[in-house]
Amino acid sequence: MAATAAQLPGWVSKLRSFPKERFLFGPSPVQHLPRLSAHLGGASIWAKREDCNSGLAYGGNKVRKLEYVVADALKEGADTLVSIGGVQSNHTRAVTACAAASGLKAVTLQEAWVPYNPPLYDKTGNILLSRLMGGDVRLNSECFHIGPKASLDAAVRELKDRGAKPYSIPAGASLHPLGALGFVDFIVELAGQEKDLGVFFDTIVVCSVTGSSHSGIAVGALLEGRGRKVIGIDASGRPVDTKAQVTNIAKDTLALLDPDARLPDDAVVLDERFHAGMYGIPDEQTKAAMRLGAQLEAFITDPVYEGKSLAGLIHLVRSGEIAPSSKVLYVHLGGQPALNAYSEEF
């Protein structure tokens, strides 16, 4: 029997008070990875498959975030979603998908975040899907950083001058006030699945760049109070900036849900050993992790995000830094469409 509002923790009731679109199939699947677990000889490894969470253009973690963000855009009467990312951005593809599914237009700024330009890099993968869905895709030469972008503000002004009603969504939806709520909800969803499976994941591993997936999971785990350890794996190549942004988003999200709660100093853990030196470029460790997951489990990851966090997971388990007795959950955030743009790496 579902809990009544009076039986729910206050933070869950508060979370459920925010308007939310329904872009996901429902709870994303939780999958045991027995061959990878046996190969590494340590902790029992499972994955929560955000890459399989939605029918909107291959889904992914950004679609979970956008359930809350797009609901706010519709409440404000917007007719156009405006956002920003790299040329092969999963986020801009998801923004365009959610716009199409909501009867809105999408304008996306695709910046030169990655010093990588093989043939067809700006014509395949995520950007191809955005164009297919009718997005207004605009390439520009701005470089990578995770903070606010002046070019996004300029695009919003231009659309307003043309009489449109644009709604601005920062990169990854991460600096949006509601951007982390989807991954607080992830923890609520996971707790129900654990009950059904008869398992508890004491450690969660998640990729971290713009930060709101990591922040939301950290806040959800803190409010839940079951002692989970959340480990972020940096893929930005700028871990100082990423950790500061994750921490700030977590504090702001916590204040939305429980103004009396405080974020402990050790709540945000960011491992910076696996980013390969810069955003968007895989090294041999990244590619080896991708091959291992693919060849043992047909578990497909991308070279920008999940290949790096999978490399982190493999090392943490193999080295015993995650205890052999642990049940560890790898959060698969999606991103596989970008593989087409990186074919020469394989």
Point out the residues that are catalytic.
89
Distance CA 59, CA 29 (A): 13
Amino acid at 276: A
81, exposed or middle or buried, with CB in 10 Å at 0-12, 13-18, 19+? buried
Distance CA 183, CA 194 (A): 16
- Residues 193 and 311 sit within 8 Å (Cβ to Cβ): no
Cβ-based neighbour number of residue 154 at 10 Å: 11
Per DSSP bridges, beta strands 136-139 and 203-208 are: unpaired
- What tokens appear for 336 in the block? 């596989």
Distance CA 127, CA 119 (A): 14
- Residues 118 and 85 sit within 8 Å (Cβ to Cβ): no
Q: What is the DSSP string of 70-127?
A: HHHHHHTT-SEEEEEEETT-HHHHHHHHHHHHHT-EEEEEEE--SS---TTTTTSHHH
Distance CA 84, CA 137 (A): 10
Burial 272-311 (b: 16+ CB within 10 A, else e): bebbbebbbbbbebbbebbebbeebbebebbbbbbbbbbb
Cβ-based neighbour number of residue 165 at 10 Å: 14
- Residues 50 and 94 sit within 8 Å (Cβ to Cβ): no
CA-based nearest residue to 221, from 263, 252, 259: 263
